[in-house]
């Protein structure tokens, strides 16, 4: 049981809101800031050292689209500096650092704040790991925060670099869409892996169910509970983004947000389907346990019912009474065998009739 179900919240009870403390484990050694600044014509990509985070601030004013990506949240002053020069609300900064947030979208005066969860599935342990991704979408910039470096956003970077694609000609809202889409797409891969495992489990269940199968079903059920907790709220997030009448989201991007919203609903549907299937597997397991018990009991009953009366008969003629006429009769022994065989045979017929044999 390596994970805790419920994590401590960031701040002391009653502490002032906006107190910046990073909660959660430090998931990457070295925080990293990567900046891509682009427009249809030009592109500049630089990595900024932690100490010089202030260099990101002037990008707020440029007309080109600026994407500031921060990997690693344990350097609180990075968030503080960026928050300061981009005018982020203290609660936003607190939420970026409290990495157990529920997915949500919040509209502030000149930016949108989006929180999502990125998922990784560890097939060996049947365990899903999750990480918080926060996005700030401003009029000319997107700031993204991840708990550790990942490769989910690499495809988006590639598309920006390649230069001819729609992404270079569109604004920061399209960039934010591309990042959301990359995260939601990654869910499909996780669900595919889980689906494969559940499939294997189904086979195991049909061919040879053991208590270890039960344990696995229980683990999957638990994972689905936690997965659902991450994915359900995302539905609302994308629904409200899609409906949002914000000046920050151009009309052309709306179609794309509807598309990623559809994908999210598909993800939610799939999670529910998996839950139902796992629930059905638990029922099947319990039923097959009952079936096996029944089989075991039948064997016992048949054996005991046939031999206990026979043993009783044998016991009678093992008695040492002096006056037992049968003992002296010459044909007693053959007759004994006849009786025994008839009794046994009658039992077998009885059980055949009951369909136990």
Which residues ranging from 246 to 275 are in contact with a copy of itself (CB under 8 A)? 255-256, 258-259, 262-263, 265-266, 269-270, 273-274
Stretch that binds a copy of itself, among 54-62, 119-127, 135-143, 218-226 (CB under 8 A): 218-226
Query: How does strand 65-71 pair with strand 141-146?
Result: parallel
**285: contact with a copy of itself by CB under 8 A:** yes
- Least separation in angstroms between residue 170's CB and a copy of itself is 11
Distance separating the N- and C-terminal Cα atoms of the chain: 45
Between residue 332 and residue 351, which ones bind a copy of itself under the rule CB under 8 A?
A: 332-333, 336
Q: What's the token pair of residue 226?
A: 């936690």
Contact present, 238 and 257 (Cβ < 8 Å): yes
Integer CA distances (angstroms), 242 to 11, 59, 253, 261, 270, in order: 33, 27, 9, 7, 21
Q: Return the beta strands (E) in the chain as ranges.
A: 32-38, 43-48, 65-71, 104-107, 112-122, 127-137, 141-146
Between residue 312 and residue 331, which ones bind a copy of itself under the rule CB under 8 A?
A: 312, 314-328, 330-331
**292: contact with a copy of itself by CB under 8 A:** yes
**89: contact with a copy of itself by CB under 8 A:** yes
**357: contact with a copy of itself by CB under 8 A:** no
User: Quick one: which of 63, 124, 283, 353 contacts a copy of itself (CB under 8 A)?
Assistant: 283
Integer CA distances (angstroms), 31 to 95, 113, 170, in order: 18, 21, 29
**147: contact with a copy of itself by CB under 8 A:** no
**77: contact with a copy of itself by CB under 8 A:** no
Q: Say how many residues touch a copy of itself, by CB under 8 A.
A: 127
How many Å apart are CA 241 and CA 181, to the nearest integer?
13
* Bridge partners, residue 141, by sequence: 66
**Site pattern 160..199 for a copy of itself (x: CB under 8 A):** -----xxx----------x--xx--xx-xx-xx-xxx-xx
Between 122 and 192, name the residue whose CB sits nearer to a copy of itself: 192
């Amino acid at each position: 049981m390596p994970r805790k179900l419920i994590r401590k919240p960031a701040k002391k009870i009653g502490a002032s809101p906006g107190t910046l403390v990073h909660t959660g484990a430090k998931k990457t050694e070295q925080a990293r800031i990567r900046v891509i600044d682009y427009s249809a014509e030009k592109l500049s990509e630089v990595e900024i050292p932690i100490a010089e985070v202030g260099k990101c601030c002037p990008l707020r004013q440029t007309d080109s689209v600026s994407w500031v990506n921060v990997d690693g949240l344990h350097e609180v002053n990075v968030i503080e500096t960026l928050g300061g020069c981009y005018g982020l609300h203290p609660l936003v900064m607190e939420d970026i650092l409290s990495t157990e947030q529920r997915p949500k979208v919040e509209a502030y005066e000149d930016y949108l704040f989006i929180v999502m969860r990125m998922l990784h599935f560890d097939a060996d342990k049947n365990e899903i790991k999750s990480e918080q991704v926060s996005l700030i979408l401003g009029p000319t910039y997107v700031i993204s925060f991840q708990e550790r470096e990942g490769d989910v956003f690499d495809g988006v970077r590639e598309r920006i670099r390649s230069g001819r694609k729609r992404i270079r000609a569109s604004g920061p809202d399209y960039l934010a869409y591309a990042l959301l889409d990359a995260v939601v797409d990654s869910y499909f891969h996780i669900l595919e892996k889980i689906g494969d495992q559940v499939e294997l489990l189904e086979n195991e269940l049909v061919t040879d169910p053991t208590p270890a199968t039960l344990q696995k079903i229980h683990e999957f059920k638990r994972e689905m509970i936690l997965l659902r907790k991450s994915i359900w709220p995302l539905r609302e997030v994308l629904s409200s983004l899609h409906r949002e009448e914000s000046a920050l989201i151009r009309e052309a991007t709306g179609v794309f947000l509807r598309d990623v919203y559809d994908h999210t609903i598909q993800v939610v549907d799939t999670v529910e389907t998996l839950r139902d299937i796992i629930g059905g597997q638990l029922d099947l397991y319990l039923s097959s346990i009952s079936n096996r018990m029944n089989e075991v009991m039948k064997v016992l009953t048949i054996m005991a019912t046939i031999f206990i009366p026979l043993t009783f008969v044998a016991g009678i003629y093992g008695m040492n009474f002096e006056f037992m006429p049968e003992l002296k009769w010459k044909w007693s022994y053959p007759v004994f065998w006849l009786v025994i065989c008839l009794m046994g045979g009658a039992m077998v017929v009885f059980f055949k009739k009951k369909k136990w044999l």
